[in-house]
Amino acid sequence: MRKPTTSEAGNRRLLIRHQTLYMYGAGASHVALLLKLRPCTHDSQKVVHWSVEVNDETVQHWNPNGYGDAEALWVHHGHMDMVKIVATGLVETQDRAGVVTGLPRHVDPAVFLRDTPLTKANSDIRALVALPSQEGDLARLHMLSDMVYKAVTYSTGATSAASTAAEALAQGSGVCQDHAHIFISAARSAGMPARYVTGYLLANEDAEALHETHGWAEAFVSGLGWVGFDPSNGVCVTPNYVRLAIGTDAHDAAPVRGSVTAAGEISIDADVRIAQASEDETEQAQQQQQQQQ
């Protein structure tokens, strides 16, 4: 089934709480986590307030990576049974018709023509973008997004994080990661740079929230720049989307990656809550940001 979004024009003030729990059944002796949990301000979104805590301690040191996204490395030596990561904040978004401008760092679009194991194209994927040559790139990308939406039914649990674009297309079912990977793979096969985006999505009031991060794609259109497409919903991104991190695929753009030395079972539980903020909540977030500066 389709995950509905609101495509109305206008601004949003979005409150976000993203919690991730790593639980180590027999304990862990070493944990190292690479965090990409700090959204940046650009023309489509303004970060009013944002905080990331690991085991109730605020993460202070963030540095831009090669894509311009903020990263932090959290390392713990010694026994521990659980790691709790909580990212909270308020972001104001604007309707830019999906066009992404004003990013903190320019990255050569050709970087995002590279294949990865998750996005390698086959003949079926290349066929999705084999459109008439007189069509402009923007029109081709809109058609591609619609074709992916129709070809792959949204089905929770139908695929895994290791599923490739080709596997998901052949199966005909998957989740947002699979839709984005197929779109990216097809666009790249046609010579159009495309990249994966991890972030947050506010669903319609009549839609059941999935309480998890969302994934979509950005493609580069000559003369226009980067444009966000969400093939899971068949739309360009709207003010209901908050952009967190980018990468060549979902693994590269993951909000949390790391390594652990542990025996026994490791379980992960993630929970995302997103809602529109009231005037009072916005004022409170602004005051918190001022206190941190």
CATH number of the domain encompassing residue 130 = 3.10.620.30
Is residue 218 assigned to a domain?
Answer: yes
> Do the domain assignments include residue 284?
no
pLDDT digit string, tens, across residues 225-270: 999 999 999 999 999 999 999 999 999 999 999 999 988 899 999 9
In-domain check, residue 3: no
Would you state the pLDDT for residue 208?
61
**Structural domain that includes position 225:** 12-279
The verdict on residue 132 lying in a domain is yes
In a domain, 289, yes or no: no
Positions of the chain with pLDDT lower than 70, given as ranges: 1-9, 132-133, 205-209, 280-293
| φ, ψ of residue 141 in degrees (nearest 5) | -70, -40
pTM, two decimal places: 0.91
Q: In whole angstroms, how far apart are CA 11 and each of 69, 85, 239, 242, 259?
A: 23, 29, 6, 12, 39
pLDDT at residue 130, rounded to an integer: 86
Q: Which two tokens stand for residue 280?
A: 């009072």
List the Cα angle 290/271/112 in 5-degree steps: 80
Measured distance CA(45)–CA(54) in Å, rounded: 25
What pLDDT sits at residue 287? 60
In a domain, 210, yes or no: yes
Q: What is the pLDDT of residue 7?
A: 41
CB atoms within 10 A of CB 133: 6
Residue showing tokens 């969302």:
214
Number of domains in the chain: 1
From first CA to last CA, the distance across the chain in angstroms is 44
pLDDT score recorded for residue 267: 93
119 belongs to a structural domain: yes
